[in-house]
């Protein structure tokens, strides 16, 4: 009855809201229903009833404020119907719809029925049936042959385009926004369309159709306002990239030029950060032929100059470094790049990535002197950037090692272990290798004394198998995190001390625990204690004490009973 007040797609979305539990009925007094529906925002719905008749409806959403009956109203009516506050006429309406379908919508009903049959049929059944039908009807056989031979025609492409548009229309809200659930379902359906339907066009070598469809989808999704908390956009972009990568390998030069022009147009004009990164990655990897090298060089330089013209700020710095990186990598593919590179080095020397590129080029050519000079320059320019200082020191270490400068090599190893990368096991082990076993015992103690007070000594004690010192670190640390990290290394050697540490911490935790979740954690820790030698007796004593001490905590007593 009331369903006739809504368009079919509005009913469908309203029912989905009802199924998702988005409806809260707040008041049903005097034939007036007041409810809330959680959509992209929390909307208020009021419905006036006269028995089973809907007299009036309002909703605070923009669509309803324009005078339309919205999906939030439909969701509330579904909730009222399922709650018995409205008579359920759905069965009568289905019967009526079935009776009238022959007169009013027979072709659509037949089409829907056929689609269901085909979707549920196994592939070999469809192929066998198609063979019989085409053998009996030469006209259909000719049409089918034409479709196969011309699968990339505008007609076929339009059919695929129409299917993609239907997916967008199904999930597109009146305000253009998709909430979390809609966005996820939309992403799943659109990704399946790309991975199945469009991928079939790829197999049929309908390359132009694949490109046009993926570009249409990519551009539409980039402009879609949606809650992408579930990461559906990345799924869609990944599917587009998979198809683009295949096109890059198989498409002819004419189409590839068209693809390339689209990429540079996008990068010049758009401002969708995530999508820009996707397109730039394809621009970088999808056009490897020599014919594109000069075009890419010219474009990278153009983008670099464009970035330089922006106002100072993080965006200018980010884009400048980004396109410098692209330009450097492209220059490496040319035969005569030394002069251009030198100009760039001088112009952008203050940028860390430029110096890093220069150092790597010097190292590759074993020009260690220039690399060392650049790195020492970096130690001054990047003095307040700890991560970069660490990288410079590691590169210097590599230079000293490669050039046989043992004294400087040892010194930088000590600097790394005590200042720049303390407790880094790789550099720790590298330093240890420079000494004999006897020498190392002395050097190790010296190193331990030089480490900063906040150094993670437990990690080094485990590395050196100094289990007595490791035990000391574990027992003096507050909480159980360090104990649980090293329990396997210590419990067989020091079971009494480990059990004592557990007992101390659990007694303190129990004192402040006040909810069942915490009680379960305590019981789980007690079970862990029982795996340690002598733990069973300790756990039984703790449980006995707690049953007396905390007898007024029924939830705790129930959890202890599970021990």
Give domain status of residue 360, yes or no: yes
Same domain flag for 441 and 510: no
Same domain flag for 490 and 540: yes
Instruction: State residue 313's pLDDT score.
Output: 81
Query: In which residue are the tokens 């004394």 written?
Result: 449
pLDDT tens figures, 194-247 = 999 999 999 988 999 999 999 999 999 998 888 899 999 999 999 999 999 999
Instruction: State residue 144's pLDDT score.
Output: 64
pLDDT above 90 (res 58): yes
Domain interval for residue 15: 2-98
Mean pLDDT, residues 190-195? 95
Under the banding of pLDDT at 50, 70 and 90, the label for residue 310 is confident
Identify the top-confidence range among 50-59, 147-156, 210-219.
210-219
Q: Which helix (H) or strand (E) holds 53?
A: strand 53-59
Mean pLDDT of the chain: 87
Give domain status of residue 86, yes or no: yes
The CATH number that applies at residue 437 is 1.25.40
88 and 81 Cβ atoms separated by less than 8 Å: yes
Same domain flag for 423 and 495: no
pLDDT tens figures, 68-85 = 888 889 999 998 888 877
Mean pLDDT, residues 46-50? 89
Write down which residue in 455, 486, 510 finishes a domain: 455
Same domain flag for 408 and 501: no
Under the banding of pLDDT at 50, 70 and 90, the label for residue 138 is low
Same domain flag for 279 and 181: yes
What is the radius of gyration, based on Cα positions, of the chain?
35
Instruction: State residue 417's pLDDT score.
Output: 96
Q: 34 φ, ψ to 5°?
A: -120, 125
- The upper half-sphere exposure of residue 300, i.e. CA atoms within 13 Å in the direction of its Cβ, equals 21
pLDDT tens figures, 348-376 = 899 898 999 899 989 999 999 999 999 99
Give domain status of residue 338, yes or no: no
186 and 226 Cβ atoms separated by less than 8 Å: yes
pLDDT above 70 (res 96): no
Write down which residue in 255, 288, 321 finishes a domain: 288
Give the least confident one: 161-165, 413-417, 459-463: 161-165
Under the banding of pLDDT at 50, 70 and 90, the label for residue 102 is very low
Give domain status of residue 485, yes or no: yes
Same domain flag for 444 and 393: yes
Same domain flag for 171 and 275: yes
Same domain flag for 435 and 483: no
pLDDT above 70 (res 491): yes
44 CA to centre of own chain: 34
Tokens, residue 338:
């030394």
Considering the chain, what percentage of its residues have pLDDT values greater than 70? 90
Give domain status of residue 16, yes or no: yes
Give domain status of residue 148, yes or no: no
pLDDT above 60 (res 97): no
pLDDT above 70 (res 425): yes
Same domain flag for 180 and 280: yes
* Rounded-to-integer distance, Cα 80 and Cα 82, Å: 6
Give the least confident one: 39-43, 89-93, 175-179: 89-93
Instruction: State residue 474's pLDDT score.
Output: 96
Q: Long-range contact list for 248-257, CB < 8 A, 24+ apart?
A: 248/282, 248/285, 248/286, 248/287, 248/288, 250/205, 250/207, 251/207, 251/211, 252/207, 253/291, 255/207, 255/208, 255/211, 256/287, 256/289
538 CA to centre of own chain: 46
Considering the chain, what percentage of its residues have pLDDT values greater than 90? 56
Instruction: State residue 47's pLDDT score.
Output: 92
pLDDT above 50 (res 104): no
Same domain flag for 190 and 269: yes
Under the banding of pLDDT at 50, 70 and 90, the label for residue 38 is confident
β-strands 225-226, 177-178 pairing:
parallel
Give domain status of residue 308, yes or no: no
Mean pLDDT, residues 123-136? 75
Instruction: State residue 321's pLDDT score.
Output: 87
Same domain flag for 495 and 438: no
pLDDT above 90 (res 496): yes
* Rounded-to-integer distance, Cα 183 and Cα 187, Å: 6
Give domain status of residue 509, yes or no: yes
Cα dist. 392→61, 300, 405, 420 in Å?
A: 58, 28, 17, 10
When comparing pLDDT for 398 and 308, which is higher? 398
Tokens, residue 93:
């309406």
Instruction: State residue 380's pLDDT score.
Output: 95
Instruction: State residue 50's pLDDT score.
Output: 84
Q: Which helix (H) or strand (E) holds 414?
A: helix 406-415
* Rounded-to-integer distance, Cα 407 and Cα 401, Å: 10
* Rounded-to-integer distance, Cα 412 and Cα 447, Å: 13
Count of the separate structural domains present in the chain: 4
Under the banding of pLDDT at 50, 70 and 90, the label for residue 159 is confident
Write down which residue in 421, 455, 489 finishes a domain: 455
pLDDT above 90 (res 319): no
The residues, ordered by sequence, that sit 6+ positions from 208 with a Cβ below 8 Å of its Cβ are 152, 157, 255
Give the least confident one: 95-99, 216-220, 335-339, 419-423: 95-99
Torsional sign, CA 443, 445, 446, 448: positive
Instruction: State residue 94's pLDDT score.
Output: 44
**What number of helices (H) and strands (E) belong to the chain?**
30, 6
pLDDT tens figures, 508-529 = 999 999 999 999 999 999 999 9
* Rounded-to-integer distance, Cα 396 and Cα 408, Å: 9
pTM (2 d.p.): 0.59
Q: Long-range contact list for 374-377, CB < 8 A, 24+ apart?
A: 375/399
User: First vs last Cα of the chain: how many Å apart?
Assistant: 58
Instruction: State residue 95's pLDDT score.
Output: 41
Under the banding of pLDDT at 50, 70 and 90, the label for residue 176 is confident
pLDDT above 80 (res 30): no
Same domain flag for 487 and 443: no
């Amino acid at each position: 009855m009331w369903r006739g007040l809504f368009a079919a797609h509005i009913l469908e979305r309203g029912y989905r809201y009802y199924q998702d539990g988005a409806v809260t009925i707040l008041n049903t007094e005097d034939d007036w229903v007041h409810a809330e529906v959680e959509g992209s925002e929390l909307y208020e719905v009021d419905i006036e009833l006269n028995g089973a008749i809907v007299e009036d409806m309002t909703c605070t959403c923009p669509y309803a404020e324009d005078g339309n009956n919205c999906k939030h109203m439909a969701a509330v009516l579904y909730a009222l119907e399922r709650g018995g506050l409205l008579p359920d006429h759905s069965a009568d309406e289905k019967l009526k719809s079935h009776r009238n379908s022959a007169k009013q919508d027979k072709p659509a009903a037949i089409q829907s029925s056929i689609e269901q049959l085909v979707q549920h049929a196994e592939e070999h059944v469809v192929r066998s049936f198609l063979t019989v039908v085409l053998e009996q009807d030469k006209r259909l056989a000719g049409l089918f042959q034409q479709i196969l031979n011309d699968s990339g025609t505008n007609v076929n492409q339009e059919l695929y385009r129409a299917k993609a548009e239907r997916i967008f229309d199904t999930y597109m809200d009146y305000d253009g926004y998709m909430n979390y659930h809609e966005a996820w379902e939309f992403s799943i359906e659109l990704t399946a369309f790309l991975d199945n339907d469009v991928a079939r066009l790829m197999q049929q070598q309908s390359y132009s159709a694949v490109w046009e469809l993926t570009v249409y989808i990519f551009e539409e999704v980039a402009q879609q306002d949606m809650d992408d908390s579930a990461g559906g956009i990345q799924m869609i972009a990944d599917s587009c990239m998979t198809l683009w990568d295949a096109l890059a390998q198989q498409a002819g030069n004419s189409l590839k030029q068209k693809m390339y022009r689209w990429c540079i147009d996008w990068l010049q004009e758009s401002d969708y950060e995530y999508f820009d990164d996707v397109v730039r990655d394809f621009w970088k990897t999808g056009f490897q032929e020599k014919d594109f090298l000069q075009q890419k060089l010219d474009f990278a330089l153009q983008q670099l100059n464009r970035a330089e013209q922006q106002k100072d700020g993080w965006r200018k710095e980010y884009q400048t470094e980004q396109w410098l990186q692209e330009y450097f990598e492209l220059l490496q593919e040319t035969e005569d790049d030394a002069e251009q590179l030198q100009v760039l080095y001088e112009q952008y020397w203050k940028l860390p990535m430029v110096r890093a590129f220069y150092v790597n080029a010097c190292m590759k050519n074993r020009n260690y002197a220039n690399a060392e000079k650049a790195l020492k320059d970096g130690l001054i320019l990047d003095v307040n950037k700890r991560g970069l200082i660490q990288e410079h020191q590691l590169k210097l270490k590599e230079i000293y090692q490669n050039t046989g400068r043992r004294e400087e090599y040892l010194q930088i190893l000590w600097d790394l272990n005590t200042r720049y990368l303390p407790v880094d096991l790789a550099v720790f082990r590298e330093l240890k290798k420079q000494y004999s076993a006897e020498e190392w015992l002395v050097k190790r103690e010296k190193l331990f004394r030089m480490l900063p007070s906040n150094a993670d000594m437990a990690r080094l004690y485990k590395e050196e198998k100094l289990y007595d010192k490791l035990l000391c670190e574990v027992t003096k640390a507050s909480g159980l995190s360090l104990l649980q990290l090293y329990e396997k290394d210590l419990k067989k050697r020091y079971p009494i001390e480990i059990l004592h540490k557990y007992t101390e911490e659990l007694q303190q935790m129990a004192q402040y625990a006040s909810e069942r979740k915490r009680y379960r954690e305590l019981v789980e820790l007690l079970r862990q204690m029982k795996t340690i030698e002598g733990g069973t007796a300790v756990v039984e004593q703790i449980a006995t004490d707690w049953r007396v001490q905390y007898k007024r905590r029924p939830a705790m007593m129930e959890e202890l009973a599970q021990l």
